Structure 1
């Protein structure tokens, strides 16, 4: 009996050592889940990872598309945002389930199922996606600094490298601190847009009508292109790697019942956070519709929305709050991009490097092209750079989604937690839609060289 207990304890310590893969420097950064206590106490312990995941759905890369969609087509495309978030909720639930049941994140599980060469190729794709995401945050933050303080975009891009020091300090302190900061920034963005929508006074009947599918979404080419931009960029590949790893920061019983409980609470956490992201994304489009629809104003970029928002709404604070939310969005996504980078590097190629070096390399790979393009082509060039960053994300997405659905449907890996037939069918349908739309998106951009707007 004593030997078995020691073996079990050894396995548990081994899992904890493995779970340090979640971009934390020591196991003290995990969060204990009470073995006893009510529903709310346990839920509070599990809350946090979902907020880090939700950040990817409200990053600066999506703002211009949503605003343009509202300005051009009113509330019609709200249904696209709703469907996008429902798909995201399903895939993030599968991602967290994979991490909880197998004790392996998506990058590790993919490496286990492939050879070293394939794993290396997939790591390169994942890294490119993270750099592309970081690029959007660099440009978004630089634009926000320019709008708020008049700082030139080139200088703003340089300033964004300073977040390395702050993030490393927080990461060394506690993972809970990072989660708390992300939640505060998400709440800030939510409150800002709730206020903006309130003063914009949208038409309530038309607003709710936007959640009803309309045939013109697929028959109107311009509307379809913007819909593809919203849907195609919704599920970020790095979010799937991230969620399957950070969910393991919770210490819970590894028995079947413990895993089942962990899955339940992690799904509640991610679904709640993604619901907030859905409300924010909807609010951005609603704001674009309420403020600019029918005005014949050209609102295709974030700067234009900022400049026109206060004059259109008649509230001087509107533009300033918009820029504050943009800055919060950029800083939020920066945090999750850094953690994701560590996860995929350790998961795919089993390489650990110092967090400061990892962060510096990723940020410089995003800052350098943004700096060069801005220097040569100005703000128009940064807009085009954002476009191509979305293409990179689209290319990488199927290589994360397809393995996720395969692994979570595999009874050998998941046991009784493997996807049931209805979930399996739904997951493959969603995967097919995402892959098809991303291929269409990439094909359109490559052939025409034009933005979806």
Structure 2
């Protein structure tokens, strides 16, 4: 009897311990919510519809790469109490190298966030258009204004809680749908572990990586962890947060590719609007699929339209040595500019799908630049001491950076060929 009571007590304590760990999830979920945006939903759907399960390897690489780079970013923030922008500003002794790196990073993040923001707002507006029938180019500016008001409150806690909830709802729906449709398990395993790039699939592979390993998320994460954890002793909590959140995000993205492949691949249909994309949820939701997908796309767009300007503001103020504060005028000015660019872009009448895919490809090309700078920072033993990259962490980091460089160069070459042609 005593042994049984002891076992039950240990079981309860174990459950409480696990729940306590889940409560630590926060900044990582913010990152996951940022990359599970309209870009991910759209790109993953088109990947599955166009090439079936073939490009699942790109998603697997993306998730591993995201875990590797985001862990470094969060470690930098927790240990040094500095964001990437500030750490980079202090990295080089040469004024020329210092300002070249600052200008390059700010330019890359500025371009990436501005392109992303237009796609985020248009993606969310596309969801509302599906439900209401009102043009997304009208909903876009409305969404942008709502995001502006949301950011103006300057409350990290409110933003974090809402985004964690959105990621949870999306994960349940897409993952359950992927299970219900009973996809070809053999084809899925082949897609994950036998990398191939089908003809015409390079840009989509790079876009898939660009929508998951988002450069601005590295800046966002390094700054956000400082709001939650105060010392290197809490690194284990930060790592758990990163691995669980990004793992969940990867499961969602993979589920979208799988449901799209099972739904569209053999039909020859490549969906180009939210109404057509919603068909993949019909096995679970039936006639409610259109409504749920529209609301989900809006939620994804809204969450990302908040985090993108936020990341741009963190990166810029840190790199320039300005005060890193939600309520400071300069901080608000930076995210305000990115948001305004997104609002203007959303009202121009361009195709949301085209803009979203362009933003993902642009981020895929910018990624290796940011990854290279992060690797330099993480090998600074004067700043990080025993928490600098180990040989194994360097190996993983350089592999990710090298693959990103290779795909980025091939993608850029492909784009230039099309422009010249």
Does the pair score TM above 0.5? yes
Matches within 5 A, 1:209-224: 209-214=190-195, 217-218=196-197, 220-224=198-202
Q: Which residue of 2 aligns with 1:124?
A: 107
Q: Which residue of 1 aligns with 2:302?
A: 331
Query: Which stretch of the first structure deviates more once superposed, 356-365 or 107-116?
Result: 356-365
CA deviation string 1:283-325 (max 9, x = no partner): 11011111112112233x3436336547899922222222222
- Residues in 1 aligned to 2:190 and 2:365: alpha-carbon distance in whole angstroms: 33
Choose the corresponding residue for 2:145, options 162, 174, 199. Answer: 162
Q: Which residue of 1 aligns with 2:87?
A: 109
CA 1:221–1:349: 2 relative to 1, 3 Å? same
Query: Which stretch of the first structure deviates more once superposed, 327-336 or 281-290?
Result: 327-336
- Residues in 2 aligned to 1:127 and 1:165: alpha-carbon distance in whole angstroms: 18
Matches within 5 A, 1:256-275: 259=232, 261-275=233-247
Secondary structure in 2 aligned to 1:192?
helix
Q: Which residue of 2 aligns with 1:19?
A: none
- Residues in 2 aligned to 1:246 and 1:129: alpha-carbon distance in whole angstroms: 19
Query: Which stretch of the first structure deviates more once superposed, 224-233 or 142-151?
Result: 224-233
- Residues in 1 aligned to 2:254 and 2:344: alpha-carbon distance in whole angstroms: 33
2:402 counterpart of 1:423: no
2:339 counterpart of 1:363: yes
CA 1:201–1:249: 2 relative to 1, 3 Å? same
Superposed displacement of residue 412, structure 1? 1.7
Superposed displacement of residue 73, structure 1? 2.5
2:65 counterpart of 1:87: yes
Q: Is the 8 A contact 1:291 1:313 kept in 2?
A: no
Q: Is the 8 A contact 1:298 1:304 kept in 2?
A: no
Q: Mark the runs of 5 or more structure 2 residues left unpaired by the alignment.
A: 1-15
Superposed displacement of residue 42, structure 1? 6.4
Q: Which residue of 1 aligns with 2:177?
A: 196
Q: Is the 8 A contact 1:110 1:348 kept in 2?
A: yes
Q: Which residue of 2 aligns with 1:245?
A: 223
Q: Which residue of 2 aligns with 1:63?
A: 41
Superposed displacement of residue 186, structure 1? 0.6
CA deviation string 1:191-244 (max 9, x = no partner): 221343344342344334432315xx13x3224443232224431111111111
- Residues in 1 aligned to 2:147 and 2:194: alpha-carbon distance in whole angstroms: 44
CA 1:397–1:204: 2 relative to 1, 3 Å? closer
CA 1:320–1:83: 2 relative to 1, 3 Å? same
Choose the corresponding residue for 1:207, options 169, 188, 195. Answer: 188
- Residues in 2 aligned to 1:307 and 1:246: alpha-carbon distance in whole angstroms: 33
Q: Which residue of 1 aligns with 2:161?
A: 180
- Residues in 2 aligned to 1:148 and 1:245: alpha-carbon distance in whole angstroms: 36
Q: Is the 8 A contact 2:365 2:411 kept in 1?
A: no
Superposed displacement of residue 44, structure 1? 5.0
Matches within 5 A, 1:271-290: 271-290=243-262
Choose the corresponding residue for 2:403, options 433, 438, 445. Answer: 433
Superposed displacement of residue 45, structure 1? 5.8
Q: Which residue of 1 aligns with 2:417?
A: 447
CA 1:161–1:314: 2 relative to 1, 3 Å? closer
Q: Mark the runs of 5 or more structure 1 residues left unpaired by the alignment.
A: 1-37
- Residues in 1 aligned to 2:285 and 2:302: alpha-carbon distance in whole angstroms: 29
Secondary structure in 1 aligned to 2:266?
coil
CA 1:122–1:194: 2 relative to 1, 3 Å? closer
Q: Is the 8 A contact 1:53 1:243 kept in 2?
A: yes
CA deviation string 1:82-106 (max 9, x = no partner): 1210111011001111111222111
Q: Is the 8 A contact 2:274 2:294 kept in 1?
A: no
TM-score (norm 1): 0.80
- Residues in 1 aligned to 2:334 and 2:286: alpha-carbon distance in whole angstroms: 43
- Residues in 2 aligned to 1:227 and 1:415: alpha-carbon distance in whole angstroms: 37
CA deviation string 1:149-193 (max 9, x = no partner): 112122111111222354236534xx2222110111111211221
Secondary structure in 2 aligned to 1:113?
coil
CA deviation string 1:95-130 (max 9, x = no partner): 111111222111111111243632234223222221
- Residues in 2 aligned to 1:189 and 1:136: alpha-carbon distance in whole angstroms: 19
Secondary structure in 2 aligned to 1:316?
helix
Choose the corresponding residue for 1:403, options 348, 373, 382. Answer: 373
Q: Give the paired residue count.
A: 395
Secondary structure in 1 aligned to 2:192?
coil
Query: Which stretch of the first structure deviates more once superposed, 346-355 or 88-97?
Result: 346-355
Query: Which stretch of the first structure deviates more once superposed, 395-404 or 182-191?
Result: 395-404
- Residues in 2 aligned to 1:78 and 1:71: alpha-carbon distance in whole angstroms: 12
CA 1:203–1:100: 2 relative to 1, 3 Å? same
- Residues in 2 aligned to 1:351 and 1:78: alpha-carbon distance in whole angstroms: 41
Query: Which stretch of the first structure deviates more once superposed, 56-65 or 130-139?
Result: 56-65
Query: Which stretch of the first structure deviates more once superposed, 334-343 or 194-203?
Result: 194-203
2:292 counterpart of 1:321: yes
CA 1:412–1:233: 2 relative to 1, 3 Å? same
